[in-house]
Amino acid sequence: MTAARKIKVVVSRVDTYEETVASLLRRVIENAQEQGKEAHVALTGGKTAEAVYRHWSTHPDPPKPPLAIYLSDERCVPIHHSGSNHGMVRRSLFSNSLPAGIRMVVPDVSDPRAAAREYDQRLPSTFDLLLFTLGADGHFASLFPGELKSQAQAGRVAATVGPPPFTDRVSLTVGVLHTAREIVVLARGRRKGELIWKMVSESPNVDDCPAAALLGYTWVLDEEAVSAFNKASESSISSETIHR
């Protein structure tokens, strides 16, 4: 029998999801910046994350220095391309202009394999925060089902292959998870709630469902995801943990 595990769940109303996430991220970063220390965070791509960044950028208390922002993954496209996570973060969170004391540390994606090796060397020894979103197929960052075995020797960063049109990518790997003080995973909607229940109940191999590697960390779900989880499990999330 598989040993019981827990994932910590923060439940948000659908209409306040962005504020819930932004407040959580702000708290983690500010705690890391005590005594003037630079916080080291990795931000993710995706529409859910972009909506959070846009909301946070208009908040009276936006991201403050000293802050170093890394990327959980990047597609091998120019920064001005709509598929660039680097470009998306700069536009949505900072209106393309980084405040003094905030820096972005991003890979040079002109050569994915060389970029992965070089980016690994630029990562901090410890992250204060890793932010991920859950993909509909169970991927996170640019770690897709069936790809993890080939990345076993890749270290903390790997050149990966994603679905068209953005096939060539550079991504953090599961090897970076143990270097983080806090890991937060975003998931919204019915399909994500059903997928989380499948991961919790079936214990899939991480090569088949990479996001299963994140089950021990903090997940922020909206009410639709929670409702779908409850329906699939025929139980109810009555506290801040889901038990397996």
pLDDT on residue 26: 95
Above 60 in pLDDT, residue 238?
Answer: no
Above 50 in pLDDT, residue 79?
Answer: yes
Say what the pTM is.
0.93
Q: Give the tens place of pLDDT for each residue, 157-213.
A: 999 999 898 889 999 999 999 999 999 999 999 999 999 999 988 888 999 999 999
How far lies 138's CA from each of 68, 77, 121, 177, 235, in Å? 28, 24, 28, 17, 22
- DSSP assigned state of 193: H
Q: What is the DSSP pairing of strand 183-187 with strand 6-12?
A: unpaired
pLDDT on residue 213: 94
- CATH of region 6-243: 3.40.50.1360
Average pLDDT score, the chain: 90
Q: Taking a C-beta distance cutoff of 8 angstroms, is the pair 155, 175 a contact? A: yes
The pair of structure tokens assigned to 18 is: 């962005």
